[in-house]
Amino acid sequence: MVVTVLPGGKRKVAEVISDAKSKIKLSDLGISTIGPRRAITGAMILEIPGEGGAAKADALAAKMAEIVGGDDIKIARPQKKVEVRISGLDDSVTTPEVVTAVALAGECLGAEVMVGEIRFYPYRMGACWARCPLVAARKVVTSGRLQVGWSSARVEPANTVAGNPPTPMETDVAVDTTPKVITGGEEPTEKAAPSECCK
């Protein structure tokens, strides 16, 4: 979760966090411990370890938005996202249908899924790129197929399509997926994805 003071905001991040600490009891959210560390940008990163950490981080973000949120504060929880290529779509498939299908298969929110333009080429079925949280992407690519409307589409990780070495998502190598609460500094940005459709 990123807590950012917007331009013109009168409060400081430290004030927002202090206010939240005085009004939010972590144990009520099932959070027993938060591990702080300093980011390269100078921001304070608070990690919520253990089982169910992602859900707890979401709950904390929602609670903070409710208790200390305002027009001068932006509260969001970034997640590592990756792209998958979805192909084999018939002409009737729409972008919202793909978003819904990915969200259902990946067990995530539709708002967390970005889908690019569905492209149709001569004598070929439609294809598009979709960007979603890493955990959701793993679930989507597990079977290799995704039901979108009447189409049983093929799903491939982006690096496989590009011919690059497998990513942790593809090889199931352990990666750092500890949910994080980031305060202050600059909001983290993601490395540009290989496709051009989800910018």
Q: Please choose, from the candidates 194, 195, 113, the residue with its C-alpha nearest in 3D space to the C-alpha of residue 146.
A: 113
CB atoms within 10 A of CB 144: 10
Q: What is the pLDDT of residue 113?
A: 92
Question: Three-state secondary structure along 121-141?
Answer: CCCCCEEEEEEEEHHHHHHHH
Encode pLDDT of 108-162 as tens digits: 888 889 999 999 988 899 999 999 988 899 999 998 999 999 999 999 998 755 4
Q: Is residue 159 a contact partner of residue 21, using CB atoms and an 8 Å limit?
A: no
Positions of CATH 3.30.70.330 in the chain = 81-157
Ranges under pLDDT 70 in the chain? 1, 38-44, 160-199
Token pair of 175 as six digits: 């990666």
Rg from Cα positions in the chain? 19
The CATH-assigned architecture of domain 81-157 is: 2-Layer Sandwich (3.30)
